Amino acid sequence: MVRGGQETSESRGAGRLANQTVPGTRWFARRLRRSDASNLGGVTNERREPTAPPADSSPLIDRRKVLLALGFGATNVAALRGLGTTGASPGQPSDTSDPRAGPSTTVTVTSEPGDAVVSEPASIPGATAQTDPGHVFDVVISNGRVLDPQSGYDQVANVGIDGNQITAITTDRLTGAGAPIDATGRVVAPGFIDILSYEPNGYGEWFKLADGVTSNLSMHGIDNPMTAYLDKVESLTPPINYGGAYDNATIRSNAGVNIYDEAGSALDQIVGAAAADVAAGAIGLHLQPEYSPGAGFDEIAAHAPIATDADMPLFMHIRYSEDIPPGTQAEAIDEVVRVARETGARVHVEHINSTGGTNRMEAALATLDAARAEGLDITACVYPYTFWATFLQSTRYEDWQTKYNLTYGDLQVAGTSDRLTEATYQQAYDDNRLTAAFAMPESDLVTAFQSSWVMVGSDAILQTHHNNHPRSTGCFSRTLGTYVRDQNVMTLRQGLAKMTILPAQLLQAGAPSMRRKGRLQIGADADITIFDPATITDNSTIATPQRPSTGVDWVLVAGQIAKRPTGAATDAGGRALPEGVDTSVRAGKPILAGRE
């Protein structure tokens, strides 16, 4: 795949590497798996209608044959990457405590809509509300259901914005410099934080806006050293905020280390690059032992002091995605626990529904719950789909019928509406088509969503060729539309928490600017998503991943209106963009380690 725009994490490298072969690779990978295995250690849905204020005065890859070539170069690592916790604990009433204090079992939203009504808005520590009745706000949002997942404030109210901050939340009338945003019948929420996205590419970000995202965080690793990443994204002038994580696989390749090999004498260089990326602003350290099986426990552990010193998590695409021993998902989850226990690092498990918890979510979460109960700081995220996608000639699809217990009818080529058959499979294979595999039960998602410490992350960003998983454009709307509204798997507050306060608090210790995000509070950044809870819907499909979500009417980034309900838009190349996005508003700012 191309650099900088990711299809899926499961499909890394498949496009460029699928036809490479190495004699004995399968035997070598099986031997490696045996070696790896020997080194592993051991709500309520009640809804409440708020009352209205006075009217406003204004209207993947299989580890046994893990990739392919022993001469795996930097370009191929980029292709591999291209497909595509905590500070103070979420739910605490304020962020004034030591962000490193306390076990991760406090990572939860502590009250729900059925609990005592919170009638007064919360404030960022040190912030003071603007109460002058003659004050004219830069922007006013009127008559919306203002919902702050952290504090539990859930009232029909008016929001005043000055510059890039929220300065008033009140049932009193507010006066704005222009016509207010009428949010009647809408939810006014903190802007969504995509905790597991990829590098902005100048195109996919606009579709993130339509899905309610105001911060796009490339925590599955960046394709470049941090300094180059920042230069590249700044040149794109993105409409949403951005940040990213050091990527171990890229740096290993740059150091000349084969994916199957231990780092050896290059370990100091690799760890030094991680430290340099953090110093330059990386907000996490990403490791992906499924793609770099030579990166054993010791190499992962060598990154932990950097992460703990910088108050940031290790993000892990864990080692195994199947259950054919040796090398099972249970062993991969055990390795996560071992990393946290022996190093003291915080660890975030990426897309646990496709890697670690597939067809065994209850067991995976039980293992992690037990680890959290002993004080280990472990979190996870999911994307709300029951299929992954990658290229048919990739190693993830080798022995796919045995590995995943699938049939031809469980496969669908992206960009088409038909499932494959034995007769059509060969042509799709010869063309190496990106193909979705319906390999994950919905019950896994339901179980994961009901865990208070599991977040939502898309694991994708749309590219101009549209050869993408629909989660690149529909992840957050699907969570709120399908799993909150339609299936009542969780309350609206719980669902919003998984894409606002939970990711903000996962990162805020190391990236202080996150203390002002993920919140609808006085003094918070005016990153705000306004949506219709009755109509928010993901529209993208395997056949048409470029179809934007609907139901997100307004999105503000740093107090500027980046998306409105209507209005045609195109990018510089004449490609259609989601309705209502304003390509003249490019308020995105970098989110950096150690910087406010």
**Closest to 536 in 3D by CA, of 494, 495, 506:** 495
- When pLDDT is averaged across residues 302-326 and rounded to a whole number, the result is 95
Q: Are 529 and 212 in contact (CB under 8 A)?
A: yes
As a residue count, the chain comes to 596
**Lookup: tokens for 16:** 């460029």
**Lookup: tokens for 376:** 């280990």
Residue 77, pLDDT above cutoff 70? no
Burial of 111 (0-12, 13-18, 19+ CB in 10 A): middle
Residue 94, pLDDT above cutoff 60? no
**So what's the pLDDT on residue 315?**
98
**So what's the pLDDT on residue 117?**
59
Q: Of the ranges 29-43, 107-121, 175-189, 506-520, which one carries the lowest mean pLDDT score?
A: 29-43
- pLDDT band at residue 78, thresholds of 50, 70 and 90? very low
Q: Are 446 and 489 in contact (CB under 8 A)?
A: yes
Percent of the chain scoring above 90 in pLDDT: 72
Q: Are 225 and 277 in contact (CB under 8 A)?
A: yes
**Closest to 32 in 3D by CA, of 60, 83, 70:** 70
- When pLDDT is averaged across residues 54-58 and rounded to a whole number, the result is 36
Residue 585, pLDDT above cutoff 90? yes
**So what's the pLDDT on residue 88?**
35
The CATH class given to the 9-18+69-97+189-563 domain equals alpha beta
How many angstroms separate the Cα of 498 from the Cα of each of 109, 513, 524? 9, 18, 18
**Lookup: tokens for 559:** 């107090």
- When pLDDT is averaged across residues 204-218 and rounded to a whole number, the result is 98
Q: Of the ranges 23-37, 58-72, 574-588, which one carries the lowest mean pLDDT score?
A: 58-72
**Lookup: tokens for 281:** 């602003």
- When pLDDT is averaged across residues 86-94 and rounded to a whole number, the result is 34
Residue 196, pLDDT above cutoff 90? yes
455-499 per-position pLDDT tens digit: 999 999 999 988 889 999 999 999 999 999 999 999 999 999 999
**Closest to 390 in 3D by CA, of 372, 404, 369:** 404
235-274 per-position pLDDT tens digit: 999 999 999 999 999 999 999 999 899 999 999 999 999 9
**So what's the pLDDT on residue 465?**
87
140-165 per-position pLDDT tens digit: 999 999 999 999 999 999 999 999 99
Tell me the HSE value of 43 on the side-chain side, using a 13 A CA sphere: 23
Tell me the HSE value of 225 on the side-chain side, using a 13 A CA sphere: 14
Maximal C-alpha separation, the chain: 77
Please give the full DSSP string across 74-141, using - where no structure is assigned.
HHHHHHHHH----SSPTT-S-S-S-TT-S-GGG-S----TTSS-B-S--B-TT------TT-EESEEE
* Reduced DSSP (H G I as helix, E B as strand, rest coil) percent helix, strand, coil of the chain, to 5: 30, 15, 50
Residue whose structure tokens are 């499979």 = 425
SS3 category, 350: coil
Phi and psi for 199 in degrees, rounded to 5?
Answer: -60, 135
Q: Are 553 and 532 in contact (CB under 8 A)?
A: yes
Q: How far apart are CA 555 and CA 189, in angstroms?
A: 10
CA dihedral 184, 192, 354, 537 (to 10 degrees): 20
Residue 3, pLDDT above cutoff 60? no
Cβ neighbours of 96 (radius 10 Å): 10
370-405 per-position pLDDT tens digit: 999 999 999 999 999 999 887 787 777 778 898 889
Residue whose structure tokens are 């539309």 = 481
Cβ neighbours of 116 (radius 10 Å): 7
**Lookup: tokens for 412:** 């669908």
**So what's the pLDDT on residue 392?**
85
Q: Are 396 and 11 in contact (CB under 8 A)?
A: yes
Domain boundaries, the chain: 9-18+69-97+189-563
Q: How far apart are CA 406 and CA 336, in angstroms?
A: 28
Query: pTM of the predicted model, to two decimals?
Result: 0.84
Average pLDDT, the chain: 84
Pairing of β 213-218 and β 192-194:
parallel
**So what's the pLDDT on residue 9?**
43
Q: Which residues pair with 157 in a beta bridge?
A: 144
